[in-house]
Structure 1
Amino acid sequence: MDEFIKWCKGRGYSFDGLEITCPPGNCGNGIYATRSFRSGLPIITLPEYDMINSALVLDLPFYRKKMANVNEKLKPMEILTMFFCFEDFEQSAWSPYLKILPKEFDTPAFKRIDYDVNTLPLSIRKYWIDQKKEISEISEKLRRLFPELTHDKILWAWHVVNTRCIFVENEEHDNVDNTDGDTIAVIPYVDMLNHDPEKYQGVALHEKRNGRYVVQARRQILEGEQVFVCYGAHDNARLLVEYGFTLPHNLGAKVLIPQEVLLTLAKIAGIQVTREHEMVLEEVGLPSHLYATDEGPSWSLRTNVRVMLLEHWQMANGRWKKIIYSHDPIDEDVDQKIDEKLEIMLKELRNGVVEKTKKMPQEVQWMWEEQVKVCDVAIESFEKPKTPVQEGKKEEVAELE
Structure 2
Amino acid sequence: MNEFISWCKGRGYQFDGLEITCPPPGNCGNGIYATTGFRTGKAFITLPETDMINAALVVDLPVYRKKLAKIGGEKLKPMEILTMFFAFEDTEHSAWSPYLKVLPKEFNTPAFKGIDYDVNTLPLSIRKYWIDQKKEISEISEKLRRLFPELSHDKILWAWHVVNTRCIFVENEEHDNVDNSDGDTIAVIPYVDMLNHDPEKYQGLALHEKRNGRYVVQAKRQIQEGEQIFVCYGAHDNARLLVEYGFTLPHNLGAKVLIPQEMLLTLAKIAGIQVTREHEMVLEEVGLPSHLYATDEGPSWSLRTNIRVMLLEHWQMANGRWKKIIYSHDPIDDEVDEKIDEKLEIMLKELRNGVAEKAKKMPTDVKWMWEEQVKVCDVALQSFEKKEKLEEKEKLTEEYS
TM-score band by shorter chain is over 0.9
Match of 1:134 in 2: 136
Give the counterpart letter for 1:274 in structure 2: T
Q: Decide which moves more: 270-279 or 239-248.
A: 270-279
3-state SS, counterpart of residue 179 of structure 1:
coil
Whole-Å Cα distance in 1 between the matches of residues 33 and 127 of structure 2?
A: 35
Read off the aligned partner of 1:51 and give its amino acid letter.
M
Residue 366 of structure 1 aligns with which residue? 368
Equivalent residue, structure 1, for 2:17 = 17
What letter matches 2:10 in structure 1? G
1:60 partner letter = L
Q: Paired residue for 2:342, among 324, 340, 343?
A: 340
Matches within 5 A, 1:1-400: 1-27=1-27, 28-71=29-72, 72-385=74-387, 387=390
- CA apart distance, 1:24: 2.5
Query: Is there any run of 5+ residues in structure 1 with no aligned partner, and where?
Result: 396-401
CA-to-aligned-CA distance 1:250-278 (integer Å, 9 cap, x gap):
00000000111111111111111111111
Residue 70 of structure 1: how far off its partner (Å): 1.6
Report the Cα distance in structure 2 between the residues aligned to 1:368 and 1:26, rounded to whole angstroms.
28
Q: Secondary structure at the match of 1:276?
A: helix
Q: Deviations over 1:12-67 (max 9, x none)?
A: 00000000000221321000000000000001000000000011111111101111
Distance in 2 (alpha carbons) for counterparts of 1:158 and 1:260: 35
User: Cα distance, 1:199 vs. partner?
Assistant: 0.4
Q: Distance in 1 between matches of 2:26 and 2:296?
A: 29
Deviations 1:366-385 (A, max 9, x none): 00000000000000000004
Q: CA deviation at 1:317?
A: 1.1
> Alignment partner of 1:185: what SS?
strand
1:320-369 CA distances to partner (integer Å, 9 max, x unpaired)?
11110100000001000100000000000000001111111110000000
C-alpha distance in structure 1 between counterparts of 2:173 and 2:394, whole Å: 54
Of 218-227 and 379-388, deviating more is: 379-388
Q: Distance in 2 between matches of 1:23 and 1:212?
A: 28
| Secondary structure in 2 matching 1:382 | helix
* In 1: Cα distance, 2:208 partner to 2:283 partner: 40
Cα deviation 1:72-116 (Å, max 9, x = unaligned): 100000000000011111111100000000000000000000000
Please list the CA deviations of residues 198-245 of structure 1 after superposition, one character each: whole Å capped at 9, or x if unmatched. Answer: 000000000011000000000000000000000000000000000000
Instruction: Say which is worse superposed, 379-388 or 69-78, in terms of deviation.
Output: 379-388
CA distance in 2, matches of 1:90, 1:363: 38
Instruction: Give the secondary-structure state (helix, strand or coil) at the position aligned to 1:35.
Output: coil
Q: Distance in 2 between matches of 1:148 and 1:33?
A: 43
Deviation at 1:284, TM superposition (A): 0.8
2:138 is paired with a residue of what secondary structure?
A: helix
Please report the TM-score for the alignment, with normalisation by the length of structure 1. Answer: 0.96
Q: What is the CA deviation profile of residues 169-208 of structure 1, one whole-angstrom value per residue up to 9, with x for unaligned ones? A: 1111100000000110000000000000000000000001
Q: SS at the partner of 2:111?
A: coil
Structure 1 residue 391 displacement after superposition: 6.0
Q: Distance in 1 between matches of 2:51 and 2:308?
A: 53
The whole-number CA distance in structure 2 between the counterparts of 1:345 and 1:86 is 53
Structure 2 distance, partners of 1:256, 1:171, is 35
Distance 1:276 1:23 in 2: 56
SS of equivalent to 2:184 = coil
Name the amino acid aligned to 1:66: K
In 1: Cα distance, 2:280 partner to 2:173 partner = 44
SS of 1:381 mapped into structure 2:
helix
Cα deviation, residue 387, structure 1: 4.8
Q: Distance in 1 between matches of 2:370 and 2:166?
A: 27
Identity over aligned residues, as a percent? 88
Secondary structure at 1:209 match in 2: helix
Alpha-carbon distance in 2 for matches of 1:174, 1:319: 51
Q: Report the 3-state secondary structure (helix = DSSP H, G, I; strand = E; otherwise coil) of the residue aligned with 2:336.
A: helix
- Tell me the SS of whatever aligns to 1:368: helix
Secondary structure at the aligned position of 1:215 is classed as strand
1:2 is matched by which residue type in structure 2?
A: N
Distance 2:326 2:173 in 1: 43
Does 240-249 or 307-316 show the bigger shift?
A: 307-316
Q: Aligned letter for 1:364?
A: V
Q: Cα–Cα, structure 1 residues 243 and 35, in superposed 2: closer, same or farther, change >3 Å?
A: same
Change over 3 Å in CA distance of 1:64–1:329 after alignment to 2: same
The CA distance in 2 between the partners of 1:298 and 1:325, in whole Å, is 16
Q: Distance in 2 between matches of 1:316 and 1:74?
A: 51
Could you list the runs of 5+ residues in structure 2 that have no partner in the other structure?
none
- RMSD over aligned Cα atoms: 1.3
Q: Residue type matched to 1:177 in 2?
A: D
